[in-house]
Each structure stands twice: as structure tokens, then as C-alpha cells.
A = this chain, B = another copy of it.
Amino acid sequence: MEQFEYYNPARIVFGKDKELETGRLVKPYAKKVLLHYGGGSIKKNGVYDRVVASLRQEQIEFVELAGVVPNPRYSMVQKGIALCKEEQIDFILAVGGGSVIDSAKAIAVGYYVDPSVDYWETYFMTGKPAEKALPIGVVLTMPAAGSETSSGTVVTNDETHFKRSIGGECMIPKFAIINPENNYTMPKYQISCGCADIFAHLMERYFTQVSHVDYSDRLLEASMKTLIHYAPLALEHPCDYDIRAEIAWVGTIAHNNLLDRGRLGDWGSHDLQHELGAIYDIYHGEGLSIMFPAWMKYVWKENPERFVQFAMRVWGVDYAMEDPERTILEGIHQTEVFFQRLGLPIRLHELNIDDTHFREMAEKLLVNREYAGNFKHLTVDDAYNIYCLAK
């Protein structure tokens, strides 16, 4: 186990009708709020009305910025920064899923970046940590990204087609309101994509080369087993509170950094997916359900024991004493079967993506960094080979 710090001061407010407490939670921080959201689904399911009523009840002034899209855009971030300055905003309220929250975080940090500095090049393209941000609050409508209590944001530059992340404690939201009822109206495919994202967050942390990390291994296994049980049930019973609550709670814990203290996660599959997402406008979750199994097949020999443990403890595969490789491959196969059961693709051709951009994506992956992934340090050739395995 490596040395670590853990600090997460986000207040999680979880349960039915909790969005009605938005005003109370915003009040200590804000005079004037930027209400940030996506394509308007929150207007259809009533979340918008309840949040706005709660803000009005506390006499909190707000300005709206709608229209965040999946793979949130840097152009929207720039628009948000300008709006916050113009309107003298002192708090950003993100109402939505990971894209909206990530957009809000990027605006919150960008607000304090010296206008003479190129925000994108200085931070996103170098990974320079964010040091100051406007305070943020979240009303979560979709369990997936875990951004509601995390310290990071991922943004796509719509001009350069780079998808990059930055991190910093200052971005951890002050509060995250999680009402699983607000997930009932999610389309089934969105539920699946969200679960794949959560599962990928757990696997990214699980596949580490750091040894003596048994406790966090077990916490990660507990989280994966919960998701394996409940994700298919959520598709069958989309309006069952108890099922949705389990998934929502896993989704938050999976990405609040608790589960990777003392270890170094991989994140290669996320990076490979980010390059896909920057070129093809696919859902993050479906990109992950394709890239993760391909990555696993390519890298397992770097630490077979870890893949044996994954197969045995997460999937209940028996240990094949005379041929442990069979245990490993069965664990990877079970992972694919799980994604398929959720109706997700596990090969690129299922999304009509061919090898046209494989080399380009592999090269972009390595721009401004020596390698991608920590479990195995991926080169351009490695990345290209993994895209080929995913074909």
C-alpha cells in the first residue's frame, strides 16, 4: 500500500424528494447562482421545477445556462465563464448527469484563470492541477460518472477534438443531492451506459500493480458484485426505488476516490475511450464496454495473479490449478457477457466504427504524455493493437 491523503468534504444528501432541499444547501454559499443543465430532460421529469421552486423559496437569484451535451464541450465552458463574470455569479448549480457536472466544474475553475492565459492549453493539455474554483453544487439525475463528489472533470475541445481531464480538490462539489427517483425516466440504454461507466471506474481502480492493497480490493469487489446484481434488475424494473438506490450509491462511492487510496489505478481504458469519444460522438459507457475487454485481453500477462483474483472473487470462477490462464480468460469473458446482458456493444463494429482512425487515435492518445495507463504503460503501438482487438 502506498502512502496517501484522503479528503472529500462533499455533503451527500440522498433520498426521495431531496432536490427540494436545494435552496437550503445553496444558501450559505450564494447570492447569485448559475443554473447549469443539459438538453431539457429535467424540464420533462419535473426536476427543473422542483429545484427552481426550492431556490425561489430561499430567495436565491439565478441565471440559466442550458444545452450541455454528452462529452461536454469546451465552447460551452467558455460561454459559461463569460456569463459568470458578466452576471457576477458566486455559485454554480449543476442539475444533470456527469456531462453537466463536468461542464460546471470546468467553468468554476476557468472563472479564476487569468484571461491572458490559454485555459485549455495550460491546464487540460498538461494536466496542471486546478487550484481555485467557484463553489459548485449538484442535483444528480443519472448515476454514472461519479462526478458529483469527485475532484475531476473531463471536457472535449470541439475545435481540436481532444478530450482531456483536469483535477483538483477545489472542484469537489459542496453538496450532491441524489434522489434515485429522478433516474426513473432515463432511457434503458442510458441506464446501461451509466452502469458500464460505474463498472469501469471500479475496474480502473482494481487493476493496479501496487501490492498489499487487500482492503481496497475487497471494497472494490463488493462494489462490482453489487452492480453485477442490480444493473440487469434496473433494466427490468426501471421504477424500483430500492434497485435504483443501490446503483446510485455504488456510482457515487465508485468515483469519490475512497476506493483507490494507497493504490494507483490504470485509466488506460478510459483514455482509449476518450479518443474514441473525441472523434465519434458515442456514449461514454458504450465506448468503455468495448475498450475495457480489449484492454484486458492485451494486458493481463503483466500481472496474471490480479486477473485470477478478479475472475475468482468478482465472477466466482473456479481456479483452474493446471491452467490458470483459463480462469483469467473466463473472468474477461464474464465481463463481456455482463455488458452484453445490459444490451451494450463489446466490439467497435457494432457501432459501425471501422479502423479508419485507429492510428490517429493511438497517436493522439500519446500527445503531451509519455504513456497512457499505469497497469501497463501503453505506447502508440499498444494503443493501436488494442483498438484492433476491439474491432
Contacts and interface: CB of A to CB of B under 8 A. Distances in A.
A218 B219 CA distance: 8
Residue among A7, A249, A258, A262 with max Cβ neighbours from chain B (10 Å): A249
A248 B222 CA distance: 19
A3 interface: yes
Interface in A213-269: 214-216, 218-219, 221-223, 225-226, 229-230, 242, 245-246, 249-250, 253, 258, 261-262
Interface string A4-34: 1111111111111010000000000000000
B246 A214 contact: yes
A90 to B, nearest CB: 21
A334 to B, nearest CB: 18
A16 B1 contact: no
B12 A6 contact: yes
Interface string A364-377: 00000000000000
Contacts of A262: 14, 245, 249
Contacts of A14: 3-6, 261-262
A7 B9 contact: yes
Contact of A246 (B4, B9, B12, B212): B212
Interface residues of A, number: 40
Contacts of A3: 14-16, 18
Contact of A245 (B10, B212, B242, B258): B212
Residue among A218, A245, A261 with max Cβ neighbours from chain B (10 Å): A218
A8 B5 contact: no
A2 interface: yes
Given A3-B16, A222-B221, A258-B258, A246 B215 contact: yes
A210 to B, nearest CB: 11
12 contacts: A6-B12, A7-B10, A7-B11, A212-B242, A214-B246, A215-B222, A215-B223, A215-B226, A221-B222, A245-B262, A249-B261, A258-B258
Given A6-B12, A215-B249, A215-B250, 17 more contacts: A1-B242, A1-B245, A3-B14, A3-B15, A3-B18, A4-B15, A6-B11, A8-B9, A9-B9, A12-B261, A211-B242, A214-B230, A215-B246, A216-B249, A219-B223, A249-B261, A249-B262
